[in-house]
């Protein structure tokens, strides 16, 4: 399931392989993935334009688009959200593909478009595809990225303190709140809390200054580790989020619960 590292890999694929190519066709027929737009709305908005830049905040991506020959004014922003299983593929006319996003393969080989929910065709014959088996992603114009909190990869300690300062929510729930901190999903949250030795149900108003500082470092470290490793599936804690597993640090039993509506695992000793 894509979290910040996977979305960043998809953004980089767009940046390296899709910018500056004129769009000549768009398939936006998936009415759920392209909501609230009607079929054809995205095609009308994008044909004749180029993608100029690819941006990311947290788990949300958006691309700037150019003007057209008839109207040189900048076009709309194209928002792409990978949902729970999205993958961006840029397919070249010769069949070569580059992909980024979720790490599933499902037996897929180049040219397999079974899970395509949105597609753009460029004037050179190349294509940009959004593949999404679970169909929980989103493609829309001018996404409201200003509603997101600071990006988890770059958030400062001051911003992090502010994100945790209000209310009495469990700390894990606050880490998952994209309006407070953008980019942390379920696996990154469990990893960061485990590294910081904090119980996921601790109330944010009960955390000490030192605990907030340690958690800030842990969040940044977990994000960086996942990015270097190729995704959140490479995080150290992941294999131990299972019944009967022992904490890889101290050997104590791992505990399962629900926090913020999400399945959560923590060490029964160090995170008690």
| d(C-alpha 83, C-alpha 86), whole Å | 6
* Tokens of residue 53, six digits: 């830049």
Tell me what pLDDT residue 11 has.
98
* Tokens of residue 157, six digits: 């300690």
Cβ(186)–Cβ(263) below 8 Å: yes
Which domains are seen in the chain, by residue range? 4-145 (3.20.190.10), 149-267 (1.10.8.50)
* Alpha-helical segments (H) within the chain: 4-17, 41-46, 157-165, 171-176, 186-196, 209-229
Determine how many CB atoms are found less than 10 A away from the CB of residue 251.
9
Strand partners, 264: 257
* Tokens of residue 119, six digits: 């597609």
Question: Rounded to an integer, what is the distance from CA 270 to the centroid of its chain?
Answer: 29
* Tokens of residue 123, six digits: 């004037």
Tell me what pLDDT residue 108 has.
77
Q: Which residues neighbour 96 within 8 Å (Cβ) at sequence distance 6 or greater? A: 110
Tell me what pLDDT residue 234 has.
92
pTM: 0.94
Task: Say which DSSP state 142 is in.
Answer: S
Phi, psi of 119 (to 5 degrees): -150, 145
Residues of the chain with pLDDT under 50: none
Tell me what pLDDT residue 106 has.
62
* Tokens of residue 163, six digits: 């994100």
């Amino acid at each position: 399931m894509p979290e910040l590292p996977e979305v960043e890999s998809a953004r980089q694929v767009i940046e390296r392989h899709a910018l500056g190519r004129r769009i000549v066709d768009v398939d936006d027929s998936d009415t759920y993935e392209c909501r609230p737009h009607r079929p054809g709305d995205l095609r009308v908005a994008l044909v004749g334009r180029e993608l100029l830049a690819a941006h990311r905040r947290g788990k949300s991506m958006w691309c700037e688009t150019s003007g057209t020959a008839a109207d040189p004014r900048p076009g709309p922003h194209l928002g792409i959200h990978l949902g729970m299983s999205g993958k961006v593929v840029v397919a070249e006319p010769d069949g070569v593909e580059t992909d980024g996003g979720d790490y599933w393969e499902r037996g897929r080989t180049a040219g397999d478009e079974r899970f395509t929910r949105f597609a753009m065709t460029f004037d050179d014959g190349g294509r940009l595809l959004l593949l999404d088996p679970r169909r929980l992603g989103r493609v829309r114009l001018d996404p409201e990225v200003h509603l997101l909190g600071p990006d988890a990869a770059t958030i400062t300690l001051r911003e992090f303190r502010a994100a945790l300062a209000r209310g009495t929510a469990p700390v894990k729930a606050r880490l998952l709140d994209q309006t407070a901190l953008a980019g942390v999903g379920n696996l990154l949250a469990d990893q960061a809390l485990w590294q910081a030795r904090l119980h996921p149900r601790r109330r944010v108003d009960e955390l000490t200054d030192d605990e907030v500082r340690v958690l800030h470092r842990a969040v940044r470290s977990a994000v960086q580790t996942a990015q270097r490793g190729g995704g959140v599936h490479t995080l150290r804690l992941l294999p131990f989020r299972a019944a009967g597993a022992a904490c890889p640090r101290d050997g104590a039993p791992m505990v399962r619960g629900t926090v913020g509506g999400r399945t959560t695992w923590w060490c029964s000793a160090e995170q008690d």
